[in-house]
Amino acid sequence: MIITVTLNAALDVTYRVPSLVPRATNRVLETVERPGGKGVNVARVLASLGHRTTVTGFAGGAAGRELRRGLAAVPHADLLTDALVPVAGRTRRTVAVAAEDTGDTTMFNEPGPAVSPAEWAAFQDVYRELLAGPDTAAVALCGSLPPGVPVGAYADLVREARSAGVPVLLDTSGEPLRRGLAARPDLIKPNAEELAGLTGFSEPARAALDARRRGARAVAVSLGAEGMLALPEDGGWRARPPAALRGNPTGAGDSAVAGLLSGLAEGLDWPQRLARAVALSAATVLAPAAGEFDRAAYAELLPKVAVTPFG
């Protein structure tokens, strides 16, 4: 069983509009809602890959109820366990306004719910119990922190996982990433921009080395259409998709996390993990619905990802 943690889960809403006209009234042609937040997205992909996955974090308010209802209705929902902790505050919505005329998307991200100290303590209890489960194979800590959760939260959660002997992946940015690193997560998966923000180095290999120095045992950097670069504890690998892909990159990073995490849980070696992460990521870009992956494209791309030693 794999655990994904999404402290700032979201209900992702897409509005299809003929055109986005500022200062006017825009008629929405269609509304689509799906459970969201990085760890929730990772869990959906893990379930699609056949991994039993437990989703935890916080959920509250009307959007929280819709999120939980949606989670129970995703494909392979039988493999997903909802262990979200209720909060009095309201789970945020993200609204993506997709304009038909230009093909552009404009995002509106609501603020997350205010989490009380008692709610944060309740989450930590649930988290500890999940880590102690008999078949817990790995945990992913994903995304931003809602108001009220201490900025050092991920450092605490990394420490707990390490004490429990559960491999832990941290996928966040900014100060929560900086603090989390000090607790020595097994793997971080920043993109090049997040890694540059952390280390001050714009060159990904140099920045990844620096992130390892700061505490990460392994670093996998997503390079968008260029694939991924990984610096495990020893050696290094570069993985490239077979061709540049056009499509919607929403969720591609979360699919990469699911690839790395499932590979880790299955005991795959690094080149296999990276090939899976890059193929899943590319198959997500190619899927018509944002955040889903195209299963046929994944099967076709997987053997075509070129993984070469690096450094």
Q: Which residues are catalytic?
A: 254
Task: Report yes or no: 277 and 268 within 8 Å, Cβ to Cβ.
Answer: no
Binding mask 89-128 for its own copies (x = CB under 8 A): -x----x-x------xxxxxxxx-----------------
Q: How far is the CB of 249 from its own copies (least distance, A)?
A: 13
Q: In whole angstroms, give the CA distance from residue 55 to residue 2.
A: 9
Q: Does 27 bind its own copies (CB under 8 A)?
A: yes
Q: How far is the CB of 201 from its own copies (least distance, A)?
A: 25
Characterize 152-172 residue by residue with b for buried, 16 or more Cβ atoms within 10 angstroms of its Cβ, and e for exposed: bbbbbbbbbbbebebbbbbbb
Q: How far is the CB of 194 from its own copies (least distance, A)?
A: 15
Q: Which is nearer to its own copies, 89 or 204 (CB)?
A: 89
Q: Does 59 bind its own copies (CB under 8 A)?
A: no
Q: Does 10 bind its own copies (CB under 8 A)?
A: no
Q: Which two tokens stand for residue 42?
A: 């990772």
Q: Does 308 bind its own copies (CB under 8 A)?
A: no
Q: Which of 18, 21, 203, 295 binds its own copies (CB under 8 A)?
A: 21
Task: Report yes or no: 100 and 17 within 8 Å, Cβ to Cβ.
Answer: yes
Residue 81 φ/ψ region, left for φ over 0, alpha for ψ in the -120 to 50 degree band, beta for the rest: beta
Applying CB under 8 A, the span of 59-67, 116-124, 227-235, 262-270 interacting with its own copies comes to 59-67
Place of tokens 């209802």: 69
Which positions touch its own copies (CB under 8 A)?
Answer: 15, 17, 20-31, 62-63, 65-66, 90, 95, 97, 104-111
